[in-house]
Amino acid sequence: MIRYVSGRLAQSLLVMFLVAAVAFSLFGFVGDPIRQMITEDASQAEIERLREVMGLNDPVTVQFWRYISGAVHGDFGVSYFHKRPVGALIAERLPATFELAGLSVLLSILIGIPLGVYTGLHRFGRGARALMALSLVGISIPTFLIGIMLIYLFSVILGWLPSFGRGETVTVLGGFWRTGFLTTSGLQSLILPSITLALFQTTMIMRLVRAEMLDVMRTDYIKFARARGLGTQAINFRHALKNTLMPVVTVIGLQLGNVIAFAIITESVFQWPGMGRLFLQAIQQVDIPVMSAYLIMIAFFFVVINLITDLAYYAIDPRLRSNALKGTAHA
């Protein structure tokens, strides 16, 4: 048990170390950072002094160590483009992305699971087949196009909902979290982006729940439950759905990373002031400190999700435990 967990932790640390190394090596590609900071008429002595102060004359390993220990404390340096600490920039944008992503995940679960159950139970029904065909079309239309079509329909033609920004935000939790959930305009602004972001996940969850339901409905214990004379409702929801949820929960967990990635696109369409747009601007401006920080944060996010999923599997599935004890690796 301890061996498995510590092995898994060591693996995660190794991945984080490699990502940090890649992120740090990016700094080497853009040339001398001093040139971005000084004025034209700075003397050679001034440049040398600045190099010494900034630690650029130290060996690379020392600089790398300084970068890592800074990153652990949330210090990622100063953005070339915004001229502000990257940590502060990210802290500002984090709430916007988390509220958007959180609401989308919630929406996709609340819509995707019932639709999946419905299409799974009425496999050959007209409604279920129409939904399946629709979901294939939904997968083929790229996220940004769905966003644009929603804007055209609800903002341009109908004029019901705002097409960009977060609306009014209110500061909560002692001043560091700006939320859009407490104002009318904030809530209205959330509707279109969260639907756009949720659509792909919804179809994914729907298809997965459908497939799992089809599998479960064929099993013996469902036949047995029928034979016992249980009602349809009890069989469908208490016996069948319950047993489909395990893989569904796992996939939703792993999909969290996807939501963060697709948030980059949604934020760009709706000019949402979140982390994704910050990262995109950084790519366009070749703003290395922001790019590196985003890289490290995303990697951390994925590593933590994967670690939790693996450990949860380990806790639930006894077969993994015996394998781990014997020391044989599993995929």
Partner 1 sequence: MPETLSKPVPSRWHRIRHSDLAISFLSSPVTVAAAVVALLMILASVGASLVAPHNPYDMGSIDIFDSMLPPSWEEGGDTRFLLGTDAIGRGILSTILYGSRMSIFIGVVSVALSLLIGVTLGLIAGYRGGLIDAIIMRIAEVQLSLPTILVALLINGILRAVAPPSTMDKVAILVLILSIGLSNWVQFARAVRASTMVERGQEYVLAARLIGIGQLAIMFRHILPNVMGPILVIATLNLSGAILTEATLSFLGVGVPATQPSLGTLINDGTNYLFSGAWWITIFPGVALALLVLTVNLVGDWMRDALNPTLG
Residue 269 contacts by C-beta under 8 Å, 6 or more apart in sequence?
143, 144, 147, 148, 151, 193, 196
Site for partner 1 contains 258 (CB under 8 A): yes
Site for partner 1 contains 24 (CB under 8 A): no
Which uninterrupted H or E stretch holds 171?
strand 170-172
Choices 60-68, 238-246, 288-296, 312-320 (CB under 8 A): range interacting with partner 1: 288-296
Question: 108 or 169, CB closer to partner 1?
Answer: 108
Site for partner 1 contains 127 (CB under 8 A): no
Question: 184 or 284, CB closer to partner 1?
Answer: 284
Question: What one-character DSSP code corresponds to residue 165?
Answer: S
Binding test (CB under 8 A) with partner 1, winner from 26, 132, 214, 217: 26
Binding test (CB under 8 A) with partner 1, winner from 78, 265, 278, 324: 265
Site for partner 1 contains 268 (CB under 8 A): yes
DSSP string over 24-81: HHHGGGG--THHHHS-TT--HHHHHHHHHHHTTTS-HHHHHHHHHHHHHTT---B-TT
| Closest to 304 measured CA to CA, from 265, 246, 260 | 260
Instruction: State the Cα–Cα distance between residues 95 and 89, nearest whole angstrom.
Output: 11
Site for partner 1 contains 76 (CB under 8 A): no
Binding test (CB under 8 A) with partner 1, winner from 182, 254, 315, 316: 254
User: Within a 10 A sphere around the Cβ of 270, how many other Cβ atoms?
Assistant: 28
Site for partner 1 contains 145 (CB under 8 A): yes
* Residue 32, both tokens: 């001398």
Size of the site for partner 1 (CB under 8 A): 41
Site for partner 1 contains 286 (CB under 8 A): yes
- Are 161 and 154 in contact, with CB atoms under 8 Å apart? yes
Binding test (CB under 8 A) with partner 1, winner from 51, 257, 312, 313: 257
* Residue 318, both tokens: 């006894």
Question: 280 or 320, CB closer to partner 1?
Answer: 280
Question: 222 or 307, CB closer to partner 1?
Answer: 307
C-alpha distances out from residue 292 to 122, 145, 150, Å? 49, 29, 33
Site for partner 1 contains 211 (CB under 8 A): no
DSSP string over 232-258: HHIIIIIIIIHHHHHHHHHHHHHHHHH
Question: 235 or 263, CB closer to partner 1?
Answer: 263
CB of 85 to partner 1, least distance (A): 20
CB of 283 to partner 1, least distance (A): 4
- 135-161 as b/e: b if 16+ CB within 10 A: beebeeeebeebbeebbeebbeeeeeb
CB of 276 to partner 1, least distance (A): 10
Question: 60 or 283, CB closer to partner 1?
Answer: 283
Choices 63-71, 94-102, 116-124, 291-299 (CB under 8 A): range interacting with partner 1: 291-299
Q: Please name the residue that has the structure tokens 């129409």.
A: 130
User: Within a 10 A sphere around the Cβ of 224, how many other Cβ atoms?
Assistant: 11
CB of 302 to partner 1, least distance (A): 6
Residues that bind partner 1 (CB under 8 A): 15, 22, 26, 29-30, 136-137, 139-145, 148-149, 151-152, 156, 163, 254, 257-258, 261-262, 264-265, 268-269, 279-280, 282-284, 286, 288, 291, 295, 298, 302, 306
